[in-house]
Amino acid sequence: MRAIPFAVMSAVLLVGAASAQTKVTKPFVWPAAWSDTPARSAKTGGEFRNYQLSDFKTYNPFTSAEAGSIPDIMSLGTSGLVQQDPRNDEFIPYMAESMKMSNGGKTYTFVLRKGMKFSDGQEITADDWITTWKIHTDEKVGSQSRDSFFIQGKPVTLKKLGTYQLQVDFPVADATAMSKLTFAPWPDHVFGKAYRSGGAAAIKALYGLNTPAKNIVTPGAWVLSGYRPGERATFVKNKYWGEWNKDSAGKALPYLNGQSFRIVKDLNNALATYLSGQIDVGPATKADNLAQIKKAIDGGQLKATLLPNIGAQASSQWIVFNWNKADDADKQALFRNKTFRQAMSHLANRDAMVKLVYGGLGTPTYTSVYPIFANFIPKDLKKFDYNVAQAQKLLGQLGYTKKDSEGYLVNDAGKRIEFDLTTNAGNNEREQMARIFADEAKKAGVKVNFQPIDFNKLVDALTAQSDKRPFDAILLGLSGGDNIWPYGSNVMPCDGGLHFWNMSGKCVDPVETQMEKLYFQGQAETDTAKRRQISYQLANLESDLQPVVYLAGPAYNVTYNNRIGGVYPKNLMSSYYGFSALPLVYIK
């Protein structure tokens, strides 16, 4: 997940009348090379049908942070000052028609495209970026994007130079500067108005699930048109977006009239729905899923494309232990002990997870750096491979040398090693990983009580910031980040919003402090080779500390219904960029 949601507050927002508009002077032309179909052949209309495992939590872009949130759907990949080109990883001007760098790489000046509009017809100007930046950086709002606007505790600042001119100043040179400038501008006339009158509280009260879809305003290609919890969310295209987004033939984008997300109870249900032709993409992480899809294609029941094992995954699956458990001093001390966590890493049978969960189409993981970014992972990375005997030896160093009548390890005081583990219900793959881990832990004499729960409840527990966070261990995953410096800006710093093993806001282990220092050092290093060397140091420190026990990830496989066209050419597909630029997708 890119990030994780916070509590929902609902409100009804009345949008004001549109002001006079400036004509679009220079549209962005989506490169023909980003589609496998010539622009002249693409058709307009129709709906792209997707799926979602859990209900959405809010419409608010400042308090929502889970991957695939409604604000993400409305804006992701269709807004931002710059956009990354999948052909060469270069950043190109997008909502800005031009940019220049100065001050040793610390200052960026942008000229915005004139005539861009929000979905309510109001023009997008520098004010909208300024407001968005101010709200994201207000600690009281709780935005998961806040950390990306601070470097070593110093803020990135935005300055309005004119209606269509914007200056961004970084406190130090930042290798990830361009990645940070992909953030979406949300409307000043909605959020700025509320923020100026009521501050952070007013922002958190906006765009809850009770807000009528007609009142939701977006800068991106898609506008929410309806949401029924437990059933589906629907989106229609922003009719103004096509005024400044064109294909290489000059046609307005997106081609689609809309997209929908069917809420399914689990991945098995998603697969069945895909095989029946009711959605356009399906779960393709497990080998047996791929086998079922291939059988349906070969038998003529499903007209679809299947592209297995395109590359490594740009996500991670992990188990995190709660370092903030003041209501149970024994568990807190245990979870904060790296010898305990190293032992737990030895109990993670990653090869079995790859084999049983993904059918062999996956990769064991040992670091927060995603497998697709292997050039940032040292070849000599310290690993705690599956080894029950070694796990028992480490636990013995902590005093757990005897077993009770049920075969579980206890210390001299008779205290058993026992903890609760949970993950999000409905994610069959994570549930299976958790059961594998619990079974292996039992072999070593460690009692793991596994129980999946609702995703939103899980997230509330993980992101709680008290010294009594309400969980023992959670199995979850992350996605997002960039291929410039592949460490999360809200994960690695000790005060990060997703420093999820320790949410105290400060480092409690000296190695955390070292990791934080290396993170910022690598972030400021603009030489790629030197940045990778820093990454090698950081990855080895992280692996030794084991703040998170990383597990395994699937290969990146692609499958889609043949009713859709306009996907990337195969050589551009990856887990980082996906299999398509959705504005160029069309219904055949």
- Could you tell me the CATH number of the domain that includes residue 549? 3.10.105.10
In a domain, 10, yes or no: no
pLDDT confidence tier of residue 384, bands split at 50, 70 and 90: very high
Residues 471/462, Cβ–Cβ less than 8 Å: yes
pLDDT of residue 162: 97
In a domain, 83, yes or no: yes
pLDDT at 168 over 80: yes
- With H, G, I as helix, E, B as strand and everything else as coil, classify residue 201: helix
pLDDT in tens, 87-109: 999 999 999 999 999 998 899 99
Residue 403's nearest CA partner among 391, 394, 392 is 392
Residues 506/495, Cβ–Cβ less than 8 Å: yes
Section 518-533 average pLDDT: 94
pLDDT at 192 over 60: yes
Residue 71, domain extent: 28-247
The residues with which 159 forms a beta bridge, in sequence order, are: 167
pLDDT at 9 over 70: no
Residue the block writes with tokens 């991957």 = 67
- With H, G, I as helix, E, B as strand and everything else as coil, classify residue 1: coil
Of 217, 232, 247, which residue constitutes the final position of a domain? 247
How far apart (Å, rounded) are the C-alpha atoms in residues 134 and 6? 19
Mean pLDDT of the chain, nearest integer:
92
Q: Which two tokens stand for residue 263?
A: 């809420």
In this structure, the answer to whether residues 168 and 85 fall within a common structural domain is: yes
- CB atoms < 10 A from the CB of 525, how many? 19
Which of 66-70, 544-548, 574-578 has the lowest average pLDDT?
Answer: 66-70
pTM for the predicted model, two decimal places? 0.86
Would you give the end-to-end CA distance of the chain in angstroms? 31
Residue the block writes with tokens 């910031």 = 465
Number of domains present in the structure of the chain: 2
In this structure, the answer to whether residues 121 and 38 fall within a common structural domain is: yes
Residues 65/460, Cβ–Cβ less than 8 Å: no
- CB atoms < 10 A from the CB of 180, how many? 21
pLDDT at 218 over 70: yes
In this structure, the answer to whether residues 214 and 335 fall within a common structural domain is: no
% of the chain exceeding 70 in pLDDT: 96
pLDDT of residue 8: 25
pLDDT confidence tier of residue 65, bands split at 50, 70 and 90: low
Of 217, 247, 277, which residue constitutes the final position of a domain? 247
Section 417-429 average pLDDT: 94
In a domain, 333, yes or no: yes
pLDDT at 12 over 70: no
How far apart (Å, rounded) are the C-alpha atoms in residues 282 and 182? 28
Section 49-56 average pLDDT: 92
Section 494-512 average pLDDT: 94
How far apart (Å, rounded) are the C-alpha atoms in residues 125 and 35? 30
pLDDT at 207 over 60: yes
Section 258-283 average pLDDT: 95
How far apart (Å, rounded) are the C-alpha atoms in residues 302 and 311? 24
pLDDT at 16 over 80: no
What's phi and psi for 514, nearest 5 deg? -65, -40
- CB atoms < 10 A from the CB of 273, how many? 17
In this structure, the answer to whether residues 99 and 211 fall within a common structural domain is: yes
Of residues 498 and 563, the one with the higher pLDDT is: 563
pLDDT of residue 438: 97
pLDDT of residue 2: 31
Q: Which two tokens stand for residue 204?
A: 């958190």
In a domain, 351, yes or no: yes
In this structure, the answer to whether residues 239 and 323 fall within a common structural domain is: no
